[in-house]
Every structure is written in C-alpha cells, then in structure tokens.
Amino acid sequence: MSPPEHRPESEADEDETTDDSTAFRPAIDAHTHLLPERLTAAIRRSLGDEAGWEFSHPTARRELEAVLRSAGVAAYVALPYAHKAGLASELNAWLLDRAAESDRLVPFATVHPDDEDVAGVVREAFEGGARGLKIHCPVQECRPAESRLEPALEVAADYDRPITYHGGTAPMFEDSPYVGADAFAELLDSYPELRVCCAHMGTYETEAFLEFAREYENVYLDTTFAMSTAAEETMGFDPSSIADETLVELSDSIMYGSDFPNIPYPYREERAELLARDLPRETARDLFYRTAVEYLGLDDLPGLETE
C-alpha cells in the first residue's frame, strides 16, 4: 500500500464521485449560502463562537459549485441575508452578478426590516432576476409578518415569488421573540396566498410546522441541517423523529436543503439519512427535486428535468 497522497482538505472531503444514487440526482439544493468573503468569515466566526462548529468547505462560487456539481446538484438556491440596514441592495447586486456567471445558481434576495425603502429593495432585486426572498427572523430581529416587512411581503405577492424564512427556534434561538410556530402563524393568517418555506423543518417545533404544511398548500419546509446524519450531534435534533410516512405524505411540501458551505460536516451527510430510509422513488424525487421546482417556479429553466 502506498502512503496516502496529500490532497487539500476541501478536495479530499468533497469527493462525491462514488455516490451516484439516482434517487438523489439530479437534485436541487434549496438552501445554501454564497456571500462576499468578508461576510462568510463573520458568519462562520459567530457560529464557531456560539455553537463551537468548525468549517472547511470552500466558500467561493466556483469551488462551492464544483462540490455541488459532483454531488449531482443541478441547481442551488443561494440565500443572502443582511444583518443590518443599508446593506441589502449591495448584497443582492453582488449575488445577481454571481448568478450571471453561473449555470446553476438560483439567487434569492435579502432586505432588512429597517431599510429605508423595503419595497424598493425587493422590487429591484426581483427585476434583476432574484427568484425569491430570504428573511432570517432571529438575525434580522423581526417576526415573519410584522409591519416593517409588509412592503416586502406585498412585493413578493405581486411578483409571485416565494419567501424562505429562518422561522424556527433552532439551533440557538429558543429565547428569541421573533421565531417559532406562533410567530409563523401570524404570517399564515395575514398572507395565506404567499408561498413560504420555514427552513430546518421548523425545528425545534417540527410537529407544529408539519401541521402548517398539512393545512396550507403554500407552506413548505426544507430539510436543511435537521435531516442530516449530524443533526443529533450538532443541534440536538433526532431526524428519525420524523417518520417515513410523514415524508411520503408531505413530499410535495418538503424540499432538500443543506446550508452548504456553512456546515461542520461533509456535504454527503446532508442527504445520507434521507437516502438510507429507502423511500419510494416518487417521494425521493419530490424531496430532492420536484417540490423545489414548484416552490421556485423553476420549470422554465433549460437543462432541468421536468418529469
């Protein structure tokens, strides 16, 4: 046996070529993050300090895409978020530029509730090609449908674009007044026609959020982090608490996401738990592809499977 060849850690970690599961490929990853280097570093520092996580995945578009491509990801949604007022337009423009260079990046927009022209920021991004909006309730310190955000929600409704929320209490927001099922219910009461996704399966209130998905046709959940093989260890959530039957029942409301590249484990672990369940093929294709197509309104994109 020859000694192992030295390879850069990211490359060794990210070798996805042995997994050719057709249950997964082609996939849409509905939840990733691509941000300017300085912001990525700041987010990683804060997650490192608060959660003790370490990250080794690449953060630049090209390298990040190489990992996703070899995993079989045909399109990925990049979710920006502005942690203070006055940054959103610039962040949106930056991400739209990255999307223009890419054959698989689906850009979302960000807006801060204290931005001067909330509606204008969102409209400008949608006109520039953003396919949806991301709102990070605990970081941006806003409830999902509070009045400062209403102009943004109106624009999303006008343009028929979806909104992905960090709206649950995980992993460290159980004391936050901005998240949780009660706060999310206000959104559903006021804007039942909006397509909205609560990330991370709504953890730690998965039962309440699954119930929303049952009750409201326009409510989606993403599997990000919560359904990974590392969920128990990293966020104290047991993915097996969500039964196979629930995934089968709600496969048109649940879509695969990853939080890549800000995850302290290899990318394949994000889907390994779901694949190990050996779900019916139709369910798997919904989770890994078709539900995101519906949510995003992507079926007109060339090169994507539209069964």
Contact 219, 191 (CB under 8 A): no
Nearer Cβ to Zn ion, position 29 or 259? 259
C-alpha–C-alpha distance, residues 24 and 37, integer Å = 30
User: Closest separation between CB of residue 262 and Zn ion, Å?
Assistant: 7
Our CB check for Zn ion shows the closer of 14 and 259 to be 259
- Of residues 80 and 151, the one with the C-beta less far from Zn ion: 80
Tell me whether residue 115 or residue 259 sits nearer to Zn ion (CB atom): 259
CB closer to Zn ion out of 259 and 286: 259
Shortest reach from residue 47's CB to Zn ion, in Å: 10
Q: Using alpha carbons, select from 131, 126, 110 the residue that is nearest to residue 30.
A: 131
Three-state SS letters, the chain: CCCCCCCCHHHHHCCCCCCCCCCCCCEEEEEECCCCHHHHHHHHHHHHHHHCCCCCCCCCHHHHHHHHHHHCEEEEEECCCCCCCCCHHHHHHHHHHHHHCCCCEEECEECCCCCCCHHHHHHHHHHCCCCCEEEEHHHHCCCCCCHHHHHHHHHHHHHCCCEEEECCCCCCCCCCCCCCHHHHHHHHHHCCCCCEEECHHHCCCHHHHHHHHHHCCCEEEECCCCCCCCHHHHHCCCHHHCCHHHHHHCCCCEECCCCECCCCCCCCHHHHHHHHCCCCHHHHHHHHHHHHHHHHCCCCCCCCCCC
CB of residue 35 to Zn ion, shortest distance in Å: 11
State the minimum distance, in angstroms, from the CB of residue 265 to Zn ion: 14
Indicate the residue among 159 and 165 with the shorter CB distance to Zn ion.
165
Task: Mark residues 200-239: x for contact with Zn ion by CB under 5 A, - for none.
Answer: ----------------------------------------
Strands 163-166 and 133-136: parallel
Question: What is the closest distance, in whole angstroms, from the C-beta atom of residue 303 to Zn ion in the complex?
Answer: 26
CB of 225 to Zn ion, least distance (A): 8
Shortest distance in whole angstroms from residue 78 CB to Zn ion: 10
Q: Judged by CB under 5 A, how many residues of this single chain contact Zn ion?
A: 1
Q: Which residue is nearest to Zn ion (CB)?
A: 259
Q: How far is the CB of 136 from Zn ion (least distance, A)?
A: 8
By beta-carbon proximity to Zn ion, the closer residue of 124 and 259 is 259
Mark residues 249-278: x for contact with Zn ion by CB under 5 A, - for none. ----------x-------------------
Comparing CB distances to Zn ion, the nearer of 80 and 266 is: 80
Binding region for Zn ion (CB under 5 A)? 259
